[in-house]
Structure formats: structure tokens, C-alpha cells
Structure 1
Amino acid sequence: MNGLRATVRLQFHQGFTLDDAVPLVGYFADLGISHVYASPLLAARPGSLHGYDVIDPTRINPELGGEAALRRLVAELRRHGLGLILDIVSNHMAVGGAGNPWWLDVLEWGRRSPYATFFDIQWNSPDPLLEGQLLVPFLRSDYGEMLQNGEIPLRFDATAGSFQAGHYEHRFPISPPNYAELLGATDHPALRALAGRFAALRSDADPRAQAVALRAELAQLAQQKEVAAAIGHALERYDSRQPEGLQRLHALLERQCYRLASWRTAADDINWRRFFDINELGGLRVERPRVFEATHAKIFQLIEEGLIDGLRIDHVDGLADPHGYCRRLRRRLDRLAAGPGRPIYVEKILGQGEELHRDWQVDGTTGYEFMNQVSLLQHDPDGEAGLRALWHNLSGRPADFLEEAREARRLILASTLAGDFESVAQGLLQVARGDLMTRDITLGQIRRALRELIVHYPVYRTYLNACGRPAQDEPFFRQALDGARLALGDNDGALLGHLQRWLGGQPWRRLPRPLRKPYRHAGVRFQQVTAPAAAKAVEDTALYRSAVLLSRNDVGFDSQRFAAPPADFHALCQRRREDFPDSLLATATHDHKRGEDARARLAVLSERAGWYGERVQHWLLLATPLRRLLPDGPAPTPGDELILYQTLLGSWPPELAADDAEGLAAYAGRLRQWQEKAIREAKLRSGWSAPNAAYEEACRDFLGKLLEDEGMRDLRGEIAAAAAAIAPAGALNGLAQTLLRLTVPGVPDLYQGAEFWDFSLVDPDNRRPVDFAARRRALQQDADPAELLARWRDGRIKQWLIARALALRARHPALFAEGDYRPLEVIGQEAERLFAFARQRDARWALVLVPRLACPLLGDSDRPLVDPPRWGDTRVRLPADLPHGSLQGIFSGTAVTTSTGELSVGEALEAFPVGLFFCDRCNGESP
């Protein structure tokens, strides 16, 4: 099998199964891929389109073809020398519905269930109504209303011999000791006798095994018509549409191990940890050895059999102890594989200045930070001030992204994560009460100080352990303290010193034994709320409220920063080579807000800020007839309208004409999905919990008429022309970021289908079916680059670049996996518009040249190629130890000389937009 060189991310679901991937393996091999990187494959909720809602971790999803299909895929991968990296979900499982046997067992038996400790449940709730019960917030409206309407009917499953309440797709088991009430109310002697035996379960030390036998006996009895009729009559007594039935059913449900409630109660009253604010995803206690083993058993079996070659850990920040989890996983993988070699990647959002902890013993992240780094390189800092002013003046929203993010965090902590926040506050109150020097601190003080601390947190979370807060994390906590101190009054600000001590400033192991547990509980809960607060506030709110430039708004981005100099990118590449040389490098993912080439095109607006400002203000005038004035304000708002224009500029298909009715209708359909999500995620005029139908309808009408109404032909034509004007520079940016991903230190990751231009929008748009047949037909490593350049809009030029670069990596894997990264100095009149570096190992060299901020060099060209004379005297100074001779162009096919110690950029990039050059002066090998 090949070593790890490049991955392709595939999203599996019932419409794209494991067997569907089998015939594509040869294509991936020809493209230069070494490993398929699969979305989660364990059994998920029926119909899942992503696999992150696992309901049974003990088997491969039957909707994907099951384990047999996985083995068929792996066999084909092995035949072509490819490996398999698998995405796994350690933090949570899908709950609710009727498919998760572990969750249903917890509902049935409560704390007596062997799975009661699997889920992160707070059984000792401060709410007396929840003592010993699990809040189940799955009802579509208030409990009393649903009960009265008969929408929580009591049912009997004759096959299983079990009773349960139901609510649409949800199933709520009745605990077997309560069967005594139901069966005892019948007039059938056999059922009444069985009722007594069910009643005896209440005093049984281990009732579960006996309950299985009793239910089997009940199921057998229910085959008799008269028994089935008796049970049916008994159920009629619990018809909640009748007053007596309502009271009976309510009393029965109150005796269960759960309390049914409206979905809206979860934000405030939830007593178990969710994935972010999603009621249908319940947090797991994977830090417990028994849970770790049970949830990973199938994965470990497949690894031991040699079917899986690496793991990707979803949402590692949701875990109580990522450090301990990752180290335990590393030990197990090394033992199963009889030595190191199987990589572990973590999905981790790194903040400004934050680095992945090396002592986790993982191979790197999934590459979101690389997306941010290459984006910063491609933005012109000179455009920042004008674009910020334009956004603020036209939208009325803040130009400062941090202001939007902090406002969003306050909203999230007071709404969807209010219950999680309160859990932390209550935990800290218990800590305060445990020390006579702090027992007078009130819950209100703790809430106010804690809220501002979380609001000002500069990273997703820190990582406490028994020794306290690691030195690596201390600057981020201090930054949050400083921000909170400025926001709080003197009285509440004084509490921050206590929070600093309680939340890791004082090592737990040095505390008196009675204080260790409350300190640890509060610290873990704190860490597990800062991450979702950041994600919900930034990824799912602020990124949809702010549009200074949408190319700087994506998952893993530091959207407050607009641009960064080449020196920063060089330094990050060198650091990655030293610390995490096998880290994944991504520029498109299943989570991105817009495709990699849409971002690359929008980045051009940083170079043409004035041009963009003039046009967008003209479009606002032309669109006046499309807007509506609703009682709560204009529709769309100026901000939503500006975000729409940027989205159109970034995602307009290269070959879509402004008068193509069929093409525009299809494009409008995609945009409507995006628009609804964008409006609801912003939470300004609409939202998921309470959609504003009038506003959303007005925005849909605006979009539809803009793209399809004959009266908007002029506006539509101008937008299409503007998109076409920046498209060549955008394509050049796209080729540049692709080549960087393929050649800098790290392992390039290709998102499914993004070998052609990727102008996708946020999911579900970025998970649309991929036309792999077209991509397979297009792949020709010996294609003529001039012909590809002439027809660059079809995307084949990008695929060809990927194949050629990965072929070089395949021939010389050590050069890119282990070779030095050496920044190259660029001199001359356009030096700031070229980024250059070399990879070197022994006698082998690869030189990479990519234009940046090249809009002035392209001018009005309709191709993404800078005419050589425009580079003027721009040159790259070559390393002194690079042997004189010639460098072979991997894309141009021609050689360039190195005898002068300098490389003419005009000569090097004469025939192709970006440059990759190779030489081996030691043995004369060809590239």
C-alpha cells in the first residue's frame, strides 16, 4: 500500500454508498490520491446524509451497504495501492427517534440502565422536578397541549411484548415495573397474573434479565385474540383526549425515568450534554474506559483486520479530556497495528496564535487553519479600510467582526446554550460554597463574571488537567480575563480572580480531597461550554451577520484579520514541517460556507474595493422595485442584500449567461436553499426556532425576480458582468491555492469533486452529487496546457494541475513529506505579487511560484495568465546551494536555467499561470 501522500474526502449516504465508490478507486489512483478519507460509516439515523448521527457504533451502516460493502471497497483500494482513513464520532450519538438501543434502554431503566453512564447526564439536577429523571425535549409543542391533543399515544408492541408512548418518530419506553398497572387493569386472568410478576421487578436488585423473560411471555400471550383485545381495552383507558385518560396517562408518564417536554425547554432545562444545541445529538462520556471500549470496538476490530489505515476524530473539543482520549487512542492503534504508522487527525479550530498540543500524540488537524492561512495570503490589505467602511455605511452593522462575534456569544449564552451555561454557573457556586472565604459570593455574581469571560474567550477552549491549566493555554485565558475585566464593573470584576483560580489556576491535585470533585466538575463543564459558545456564535451566527468580505468568513477562519504578509505564511509552513509534517491541508470541506474557488474569486474584491463599492451602490438603486417594506422593517435588510450580492459574485457559474433561463432557474434553486439558511443562522430577522415567514418570503421573491424576472435584466446583466470581470483573477487565485496545498509541508486533502472549480455554497449545496463520470473522462495527464488554459472555465485546468503535482509527489514522496521548506526572496518591480519557496531533500529540489494580488497584472485579460512583460524585472533569488543547470517545468514542459542564481518570473510563468519546477542534480532522474 502507498504511503500517505494525498487524501480525497468522500461523503457517504444512501444516495452514494460504499459500493458506489468502488468503481471510482481507479480514477482516484490515476489522479494521484493515496488514501480515501471517508465520512462516518457506523450505523446512523435512517436517511442520514452525513453520518454524524450514529445510533449504533457496533455495526457498519446498512444504508451504505454494511460491512460486506466496506470490505469490497477496501479490497478495491488495496488492489490500487490505496488506503482508507475513517471519520469517527467520539463525542456524541443520535438520540430521540426509535433507533438508538442504548438511549432507549436509558429511557426505560434510568440509572439502572448499563448505559446510564454512557451519556453525559446530570442525574442529580438542581431542578426538583428532574431529580432522577432525564429531560426529553422532543415534543413539537408544550407537554400539556400535546397530551390533550392525543399526540403522545400509549401503544403496545405485540412482537416485543412492550409498552411505549409515542410522538411522531419518537419512542418513549414504559419501564417494565409499570406494566403492572397496565396489565392489572385488564379482565384477563393471565394478564393479571403477569401484572403481579412485573410489579415484583420494583424490588428486584437486577430486574432487567427478568423483564426480558416476562416480556417474551407477554408477547406470546398477546398472540391470542382475547388477550390482544384485553390489552387494547386497557390502552383505551389511557386515551388522553378524554379527561380521565389524560390524567391516567400523565400519571403513568410522570413515573418514568424521563420527563417529556417541548423542544423549546431544552435551552434552559436540559440536564444532559448535547452536541452544540442539537436536541437529537447526545453527548457521550468517552473518557470512561467502559464507554471508550464500547463505542470503539467495531473500529478497533476493523483496524486490527487491516481495513482502516487512519482515523479522523470529529469535534475533539466536545470531549471532557481530549488530551487523555487522544493518547489512549494512539496507544491502542499502535498496539493493534504492531507499531506506529496509522495517523490520527483531530477536527480542531485553532484561534489566532493557538497551536495544537503536541503531547496529544496526534498527527495534526483536518486542515481548517490552512484554509485560513492561504486566504490571508490572497487578500490585499490596502482594500480593508474601504471595504469595512462600505459595509458599515450601507448595512448599519459593525465593521469590527469581534463586535459581531461577542454580541452573538451573549445571545447564544442567553438562549440556546442557557442551560449549559447555567450548569457551569451552578458548578462554580458549589465550588464557592466549599470555601468559607468565598461562600458569600452569589450566583448572580458568578453568572455575570462567567458570561463575560466566555464572551471574550479568544479560542474555542483550553485544556485543564490535574496539574491545572497548561502554560500553552495560559495566554488565552489571560486575554479573556482582560477583556472581561474591561466589560465588568468593579464589584463583579473582583470575581475574575476567583474564576482564574477555580478554572485551572489552582491544580486540582493540590486541593483538599473534598474540593477536588467540584473543582474538576466545574472546570470540565466550563471547557465544554466555551467551545459550543464559540461555534454557535461565530460559525452559525456572526459569519452570517458580517460581510466586510465573505471570502474571510468561513469555518476555522480568524475573520477579524483581513490579510497577512507572505512572511507569516512562510513561518507557519516551517513550523508545520517541524511539529506536524503530516497534518492535513484543506481548502474545501463538508463544513465550508462557500467553495474554495468562490472564496478565491471574492478575494479579488480586496484588490478592487473601489470598483466593487461603486457597482454595489448602483445595484442597490436598481433593486429598489424588488424590496418590500414590512411592519418590522425592509425586506431584505441592507445587510442581507449586500451578502446576496457577494454570494452571487463568488458563486456565479463561469459559463452561465445572464439570459440563460434554464441555467438561471437551476442556480436560483441552489441559492434559495442557501438564503434560507443564511437568514435563519443570522438570527436577526428570522431564525430556526421561530421563522419569520413574511420576511423569508419577501427575500425569496427578491432573489427569484433578480435572477428570473425580465424587468431585472439590466441588474442581472451587471452582476453577471462583474462576476465575469473578476473571474480570471479568481481562477488564478484558485490555481495558486491548489498548488500551495499540494506542495507545502503537510498532506493535501481534496474534497469530493473539487478537482473541478468549486463554487459551492454551504451545506446542503456543498454535498450535492458529484459527476465523477465527467471528471474521469476529463483526466488526461498529457493534455495540452495551452488548450486547457484557453478553456479554463470548464475546470479541467485545475484537475490537470492536481494530477501533475500529485504525480511528482508520488515519484518523490520523501521530498514533500520530509524535505526542507525554504522561503525564496523575490525582487524586482512586482516582487510583492509573487510568492515563492523551495522544497529540498538531498539533491532533489522542487521550486514553487504562485502569483498573489495579481489583478493589476492581469488587467482586462480574459485568461488567468499574466502576460510575461507585465512581470518586468521581477526575479526569484535561488538558493546558493541549488546546483546550476536547469529546472524542469512540471506544468510548462520547458526548462528554465539557474546558472545566474536568479530566475526570471516572466520566463518561468510564460506558459502557465503558476509554476512547479523540479531538478535532481545527483543522478539525473527525470521528474
Structure 2
Amino acid sequence: MAPAAGKTFPRATYRVQLNGEFGFDRTAAIADYIARLGVSHLYASPYMKARPGSTHGYDIVNHNELNPEVGDQNAFRDLTEALKRNNLGQILDFVPNHMGVGGSDNEWWLSVLEWGQESPYAGYFDVEWESDYRYLQGKILVPFLGDQYGAVLVSGGLELRFDSETGSFAVWAYGSHKLPVRPRDYGIILGDDHSDLERLADAFTHLDDARPHQLRRAQDLKEDLATLVAGRPDVADAINQRLAVFRGYAGEMETWSHLHELIGRQNWRVAYFKVAADDINYRRFFNINELAGLRMDEPELFGVTHRLVLAMVEDGTLDGIRIDHIDGLIDPKGYCQRLVQAASKPFYLVVEKILARHERLREDWPIDGTTGYEFANLMGGLFVDPKGEDAFTRLYAGFIGRDQSFEDVVQQSKIRIMESEMASELNVLSRKAARIARSNPATADFTANILHQALKETIARFPVYRTYVDGTAPSDLDRRDIDWAISQARRVEQGPDGSVYDFVQRLLTTDLVAAPKSGYSRRQVTRFAMRFQQYSGPVMAKGLEDTAFYRYNRLVALNEVGGHPDHFGVSVAAFHRANQDRARNWPGNMLTSTTHDTKRGEDTRARLYALSEMPDEWERQVQTWSRLLRARRGDVEGTAPPDRNDEYLFYQLLLGAWPAELTGVAPEQIEPAAMTAFAERIVGAMTKSMREAKLHTTWAAPNEAYESAVTSFIHDALDVNRRNAFLEAFLPFQATVARIGMVNGLAQTLLKLTCPGVPDIYQGCELWNLSLVDPDNRLPVDYEARRSLLAEVEEAVERGGTAALLDRWTDGAIKLAVTRQALALRSELPAAFEAGEYLPLEATGDKADHVVAYARRQGDDTVVVAVPRLAGALGQGPDWGNTSVPLPRGARWRDRLTGKTVEGGDAIQVSALFADLPVALLVREG
């Protein structure tokens, strides 16, 4: 999609995670550094007002205020001025799908709790007020308790409090979650013991008399109460005495009856957090109770939440917006259209969207592309050897003692999610489907239970995160995916009758109301299909990314956001086709390799790709390591924790994340403190992996015995306070893999920075990024060290000594040099990269399969990029033999990475191309 008139794409972006420790001021301080690096735009994480203590900013409580923990208006002004001084633009990560709830900070949420459906903000949140459960009729579930409601009540975890400044009452859970009391119930609290309070109590009790102005009347009465308390100590004492009525004695349930009865009258039902799986009646972000979904299709809500961000586009503060979790919105295309139309001028717009392998980004969305997950997996696949797949599958199954297809793992994981954490949402959908079915005699016998089975089996086999049915005629793409899922679900043994699936298929495509006089409500059918889509996405995310990806550990470098662990490798031809398609249709698509959400950093994956080339050696190593570690622990049978699948994951994490500076260092030379710190990182990643897998332990119910045993296993393996046979066996292999990973990492870096699209650098990834799953990938970045190293790189480039940095590759200077030089070239020849042709260059010769090469050309400006792939098979000093790469027309070329001149011709020998560095970036000079 060509940019609209007046719109330009960023040259390259640099993503920064803002939080209380790294706010506007510290971001402003690195503006000159990232400008020197060569990017054009800061790409900031959300910085609108979030829940206190937020480490990521996605739990927004006010879209029109800055997060005070990140900085005030003055600090933000200083940041924007620092960016302008350094000729940097800004892109913001914006969160329209949900808000942070709970606590005491979200005014809209608190109003909904206080007034229920009468709140002016009730329509902003996706709440199912008409529940089939009598105890939730007209109420909103508040599942924030850490134990059963009765246990929390009798222990004093729920307390009625009075706010003397606002004249209001609220029940507080643990002193942190504010649950406002209905103003109509203030009379119950105030009582009739004090004449002035009795008068106000009566007025509060009869608020309905003030309709439709009861909210304003209640506010006036609260102010009267606050004024009275402020001036009358006797009134304050009387209120304290009344509050005592609602307090009981720990362990004596009957003494808490007054508070229990008051709670029972409210617009909310406070409950144990595990109750959410069955009773939740507001849409969440995935299964996170503290993030409540917004109805962004409501025009008023859209206008209110986008006021500040659109003003920042208008005044030039922002050049672009990244939309978080676009699939969470009920109508993504409609949302993007409204956003573009509401802006006063064109701006860069990308969306966070995960595409299935067969899925294409919708070309009728007015956007510039995705945030690039699909590119990360496409590029990574180049370094995975498909010839090793069968052997890898056999060795994995042999080591863990079972053989299971990834497809089966995904289906089982999705079903588990629908039967546990997200059961309530499916129950609601089933009941809605049953109501629609009952509206027509032809389908009146389709019960909620039967439809529940059909919907569950259909979603378990859904091939994409969601479809985009919106009330118009469904697209062929949507029909294809719905039809495929239904056809697969029909095959389930002992499943519902085929006529049920016929109904579900027509319901999801809205074919039920395609013709007039259908007997069904067009609005109800369309709304159901759209709500179904909002459910299938989170189930896929939780079932695939957050369960199956932690259960299926064949080669975890493939278990990445937007990845496909069952697809082993990408051909060079497929890589070129995808790049050509992006150049034609989505030149503004973001290109990423690491994000705040990736499960392993780009260079961690680069190492693990190497294993695909050596399945036999990998198997020997794993078997040896396992024998050594289990023998030391007296587990000869190999039955003690960790189980074999977790153990297999552990070895991959160890190889991928092993610190570069410790590569080649003997065990006895490693500082114990350094190894302890590394061990804790591994423990954190393993603990999260095990809990997400939900096999031996979970977040909701941690298995402390199993987790403790695994932690002990890890610390045993990494103990350098004694002779360690495991490390002695592990480190030589690690050094070999790390060297291959270094080559893969440099190749990835150069590809990302030169392919069609907008390359993004995640904070700190200009050096080696050997991170694991969050929070490991969100650790603080040492920018002083990077400044110093960049100065060294600039000096090396100036004197033509870039290649010498390869000898000290462990410090990351060589990756920084490749990054800096490629970005500098993008700055010099912007048209060649933004709008230039993408020309695949097919290598020839004995090692042609090990080379990826292409040209970017615009007019007389031509750039040639060449990198190796499957470097493990080449050895440390590759013999390229007769392998060569064709060159476009040009008499002389200069390698911008080494500074060397290359004489042109029809082709160049790869041995010459990679003589000094394993990657090449040529520019035509004549």
C-alpha cells in the first residue's frame, strides 16, 4: 500500500520501554545516542496514565493524561524538544482495546461499580448485565480476592471506609481495591442515631425521586456530608461509631453480617479471583481480570479516548501510532477507518496483528502494515535446516518419551483454556447462540449445551486468530477459515449432530439473515458473529502462545509470537517472494526481530537455529548432559523433576542465553556471583514456562514441590563452586553453537535493516540480545556502555578497521557496527530502501544454498546485500569454492561494512565477498 499524500514512513525506529525507572527524562538523555545510531524515530511504549507501579503501561486508566510515574508535562516537553534537536520523530504505542481496572485509580470503572447501569460510563465497558445467573443480574463481577469471599470477609480483608474529603463510602478489599457503595445505601450506613445524619440518610435513600438527575443529586449530598463532617467533630464521631457496626471479629462469621448484607446490595459482586473462569461478565484482555475490555465501536467513547493522541498528531508531536492488540476490537477495520478520518493529517499507522501462515493482512484496512511478527519468523526460518526436521522430531520424541503432533497439542491447549480460564465467556456465547436458535422453530431445539460443544470444537480448530465478519457480506477469506474450522469440528467423535454445525456455520457467517424474513434478528446474529471473533482470538493467544508454545519444545527458537513450531525452515525463494510482496503492497510494514513480547531474544534464537543443522550431535550432547546431572542427584532412573520435556527445554535455554562474555571461559574461571545471577534468570524463565504449560504447576495453583526441585536442578547444573562435570561437557559445545549464532545474528541484523519495510530495533538490541521471556527481556539497558562502544565503532569505521571487531565479537561491537553502517546507508539512500525495487540475486555454485542475496535499486542507486545461512555446515573457516553471487550493472562497488572496494562484473565470488566479515553491504559507486 503506497503512502497517502503527505505521509512518509519512518526510516527506522528504536523501541523504548518506559516505566517509573526509565521515564521521559532518561529517554530524552539518550535521544542523541539513538540519533547517532541512525534511526529516525523513537518508538515509545504506552505512556498515558496507567495503574500505579505499572512496568509496561498497557493497564491505562486515563487515555488523556500522561503517566505521572513516567514524567510530568514539563518532562514530556523536554523529551519532545530533545527529539527535535536530534531530528528524531516519535511513534506511540496506543492501547484502545482495554483499560486497567481494580485498585482505586480508574474513575470510569469506579463510577460503574458505584452506579451500575446508571453510570454514564456503563456503556464504555463490555459488560454482560443481563446474566442468566440471578446472583449476577444487574451486577458486575469483581474477582480480585485472593481467597474465598467468606474467608476474606471473616478475616477482615473487606473493610467499609468513609472518605471525609469526598463524603463517600466504599468497601476496600485488602486496603487496595476500592469498591464504592451505592449512594442509595448510604442511609443504611448513616442510620438514625444522629439527627443531621438521619436527614442526609433519608435524602440518600430516596435518590430515585431526583431522576433523571440522581447522580448530580448524590454528588450534592456527598458534598453536604463532607462539609458537615469537616465542621462538626460530633458528626465525624457519629460516623465512626456507625462504621464500627460493619466491623466484626476475626473468625466469627456472624459478627460480619451487617457488612455482608451491605455488600449483597451493591452493583458489584466481589469474589475469589478463580471465580472469574466461571462467572466473569465483563470482557477482559485475554484472561487478565485487571484489564477490562472497552467498546471502542461506541462513537462517544472513541472520541473521548482519542482526544489527546489525535491532538499530538495534529501538533506534530507524533508522526505515527502503533495500535496494540487490534484483534481485540469488535471491528478492527471500522476502528482504523475512524482513526484515520478523525486525524487532521496523514500519519504512519501500524497494528499489532498475528498472521497465520496462510493468512494475508487485509488490504482494505487503511493502515501501513503490522508490527512485524511475521517478518521475524520469516527471517528466522532462513537459518533453520529443513533437512534436519525428521531427525529432530525423532530425537525429541525419544528424549521426552512420547510422540505428539503440534496440531494435537494446540487443540488440547485451546480446549483446556475454554474449559478453565475462559469458560465463562464461552458459556455466555453459548447462551446467546441458544437464544438466537430459539427465535426460529427450525432451530428451537438447539440447546445452550449442544451449542457449547459445537462452538468449543470449532474454536479449538480455528486456523486463524479471528475472522472479520462485520455485518456486510463475509469475505471469501472469512468463509474459507470458518468453513475449514467447521469441517474439522464435524469429525469429532461423539460430537453434536451435523445440523448443529450447519446452524453454527450460518450463524458465524451471518448467512442466517442473508435473506429477508429469515425469522432471526439481524442485529443479534451480526452481533453474535462479531463477539465470537473477539473470543476466538484470546483463546488462540492463550492456547497457542501461552500454553502450546510451552508444551511443545522440539526447537523452541520456532516457538515465537507469530511463529509456527511445526514449520521447520523457510527457503530462500520463499523469503524473496515475501519481500517482493511486502515491497509492492506494504512498504511501511514494520520489521522486527525482538520486542517486549518475544519469548526469546533475537540472538538467543540465532544460536538455537544452529541446532537444526546438527540433530545427531545435539542428541548426543543432551543424553550426556542428562546422565551427568541426574547421576549427581542420585536419579539414575531419570524420573525425578524436572520431567524430560522441561529438562529438554532447560538445555535449550541454557545454550541460547549463555552470556557472550562467558563463552570460551573455563568453569573454574567463572565468577560465582555472575553464574548465580545467570542461574536466577534461567530459574525465572523456567518457572514461567512451566506455569504457562499448565502440566505440573500453574499460576493459579503453583506446585511448590515440583518448582523447588527444578530450581535445585538448575542451581546444581550451574554450580561453579566445585568441579562441575556437566559444565565441562557443556561449555565446548556451547562455544561452537555461540560462534554459529554470532554469524546468524549478524546476518539477521543486516537483513532486517535492508529488507522492504521499516526496521525496528528493540531497546539495547544493537548489541547481542540473549534475553529470555519477560520480564527477562525488559531488563534495564546500559546506555553508557553503548555510548562508549559506539564511539569505538565510529573510530573503527573511520580508519577502515571494522573487520577487526570480529575478533572481539563477544562484546557486541561488531553487531553495533553492522547496525550503524546499515542505518547510515538507509539515511544516505532513502528512496532505494523505501520505494526501491527488490531484486533477488540467486547464488550459484556448490554452496549456493548457503547464501541469501538481493539488491535494492532506485534509479542509479543500487545496494547489494549478501549474508550466509546454515553456517554450521560451513565450519569456522568456510571454503566457498566456486560459489558466487550475480551483481547488477555496475563497474565498482564499495562494501560499507569494511570500506573495501570491489571491482564489478557479472558476479562476485562469495569467498571474496565474505573475506573479512561474514556479511556484506555493497553500494554501487560507478
Q: Residues 289 and 507 (structure 1 numbering): CA distance in 2 closer, same or farther, change over 3 Å? A: farther
Q: Secondary structure, in 3 states, of the residue corresponding to 1:117?
A: helix
Query: What is the aligned partner in structure 2 of residue 873 from structure 1?
Result: 882
Find the partner of 1:174 among 157, 181, 191: 181
1:302 aligned onto 2:309: no
Aligned-partner SS, 2:443: coil
Residue 153 of structure 1 pairs with residue 159 of structure 2 = yes
Which segment is superposed worse, 396-405 or 626-635?
626-635
Aligned twin of 2:3: none
**Where does residue 925 of structure 1 map in the other structure?**
none
Relative to 1, partners in 2 of residues 1:354 and 1:890: Cα closer, same or farther, differing over 3 Å?
same
Q: How far apart are the structure 1 equivalents of 2:728 and 2:111?
A: 60
- Closer/same/farther in 2, CA of residues 511 and 714 from structure 1, 3 Å limit: farther
- Of the three residues 246, 257, 277, the one matched with 1:238 is 246
| 2: CA distance, partners of 1:674 / 1:264 | 24
1:457 is matched with which residue: 448, 462, 477? 462
Return the offset for 1:147.
Answer: 1.5
CA–CA distance in structure 2, aligned partners of residues 561 and 3 of structure 1: 32
Opposite residue 208 of structure 1, the aligned amino acid is: L
Match of 2:923 in 1: 918
For residues 263-412 of structure 1, what are the structure 2 equivalents within 5 Å? 263-333=273-343, 336-337=344-345, 340=346, 342-412=347-417
1:354-375 CA distances to partner (integer Å, 9 max, x unpaired)? 1111111111100000111011
C-alpha separation in 2, matches of 1:682 and 1:436: 44
1:134 aligns with 2:145: no
Deviations 1:818-848 (A, max 9, x none): 0011111111010000011111111111111
The number of residues matched between the two structures is 903
2:88 to 82, 86, 89: 82
Distance in 1 between residues matched to 2:436 and 2:576, nearest whole Å: 46
- Counterpart in the other structure of 1:924: none
**Is 2:790 the partner of 1:790?**
no
Cα pair 1:686 1:695 within 8 Å, conserved: yes
In the alignment, what sits opposite 1:753? Answer: 764
Is 1:472 paired with 2:469? Answer: no
Shift of 1:893: 1.3
Deviations 1:112-149 (A, max 9, x none): 10100000001111111111111111111111222222
The one-letter code sitting in structure 2 at the alignment partner of 1:502 is: L
- Counterpart-to-counterpart distance in 2, 1:629 and 1:733: 37
Which is worse superposed, 702-711 or 538-547? Answer: 702-711
Rounded to whole Å, the distance in 1 between the matches of 2:341 and 2:494 is 48
Pairing 1:739–2:745 present? no
Question: Residues 317 and 14 (structure 1 numbering): CA distance in 2 closer, same or farther, change over 3 Å?
Answer: same
- Tell whether the 8 Å contact from 2:675 to 2:720 is kept in structure 1 after alignment: no
SS in 1 for 2:899: coil
Summarize the Cα distance change of 1:149–1:629 in structure 2 as closer, same or farther, 3 Å threshold. farther
| More displaced 10-residue stretch of structure 1: 638-647 or 653-662 | 653-662
Map 1:492-571 → 2, pairs under 5 A: 492-506=497-511, 508=513, 510=515, 512=517, 515-571=521-577
1:67-88: CA deviations, max 9, x gaps? 3222211111111111000001
Please give the alpha-carbon distance, in whole angstroms, between the structure 2 residues aligned to 1:184 and 1:238.
12
C-alpha change, 1:811 and 1:411, in structure 2 (3 Å) is same
AA of the residue aligned to 1:370: F
One of 791, 794, 799 as aligned partner of 1:781: 794
Q: Does 1:483 align with 2:488?
A: yes
Q: Is residue 850 from structure 1 mapped to residue 867 from structure 2 by the alignment?
A: yes
Q: Is the CA contact 2:19–2:56 (under 8 Å) kept in the aligned structure 1?
A: yes
8 Å Cα contact 2:42-2:91 kept in structure 1? yes
**SS of 2:525's equivalent?**
helix
| Larger mean Cα displacement after TM superposition, 196-205 or 343-352 | 196-205
Q: Percent identity?
A: 41
Which deviates more from structure 2 when the two are superposed, residues 722-731 or residues 627-636?
627-636
1:805 pairs with 814, 822, 831, which one? 822
SS at match of 2:885: strand
Shift of 1:576: 0.7
Q: Matches of 1:917 and 1:386 in 2, distance apart?
A: 38
Partner of 1:665, secondary structure, is helix
Unaligned regions of 5+ residues in structure 1, if any?
922-927
Give the letter aligned to residue 535 of structure 1. Answer: A
Give the Å deviation of 1:527.
0.4
Deviation digits for residues 508-552 of structure 1, max 9, x if unmatched? 564558611221222122101110111101111111111111111
Amino acid of the structure 1 residue aligned with 2:239: I
SS at match of 2:594: coil
Task: Give the structure 1 partner of residue 432 of structure 2.
Answer: 427
**CA distance, structure 2, for counterparts of residue 511 and residue 813 of structure 1:** 55
Output the amino acid matched with 1:393.
Answer: G
- 1:209 aligns with one of 188, 211, 216: 216
8 A contact 1:648–1:719 mirrored in 2: no
| Larger CA deviation: 424-433 vs 582-591 | 424-433
Per-residue deviation, 1:571: 0.6
| Distance in structure 2 (CA, Å) of the matches to 1:731 and 1:104 | 52
Which runs of 5 or more structure 2 residues have no equivalent in the other structure?
Answer: 1-6
3-state SS in 2 of match to 1:437: helix
SS of 1:97's partner is: coil
Alignment CA distance shift 1:920-1:399 (3 Å): farther
2-side partners of 1:837 and 1:562: how far apart? 23
Cα–Cα, structure 1 residues 212 and 84, in superposed 2: closer, same or farther, change >3 Å? same
Structure 1 position 695 matched with structure 2 position 706 = yes
CA distance in 1, matches of 2:383, 2:480: 29
Q: Which amino acid aligns with 2:54?
A: S
Shift of 1:202: 2.8
Map of 1:7-46 to 2, 5 A cutoff? 7-46=13-52
Structure 1's 916 and 399: CA in aligned 2 closer, same or farther, altered over 3 A?
Answer: farther
TM-fit CA distance, 1:721:
2.0
Matched, 1:765 2:776: yes
Identify which range, 666-675 or 170-179, moves more after superposition: 666-675
Counterpart selection for 2:695 from 662, 674, 684:
684
TM-score normalized with structure 1 length: 0.95
CA contact (8 A) 2:28 2:79 kept: yes
CA distance in 1, matches of 2:633, 2:363: 53
Q: Give per-residue Cα distances to partners, 1:605-647, cap 9 Å, x unaligned.
A: 0001111100100111111146588999631111111100010
Q: Residues 92-116 of structure 1, C-alpha deviation per residue, up to 9 Å, x if partnerless?
A: 0001111111100000000110100
Question: What is the match of residue 852 of structure 2?
Answer: 835
Are residues 663 and 243 of structure 1, via their aligned partners in 2, closer, same or farther at CA, if it must alter by over 3 Å? Answer: closer
C-alpha separation between the residues in 1 aligned to 2:128 and 2:636? 45
Using the TM superposition, give the Cα deviation of residue 898 of structure 1 relative to its aligned residue in structure 2, in angstroms: 2.4
Deviations 1:685-735 (Å, cap 9, x if unpaired)?
Answer: 000000001001111111111112645611022222211111111111001
Give me the whole-angstrom Cα distance separating, in 2, the residues matched to 1:204 and 1:324: 39
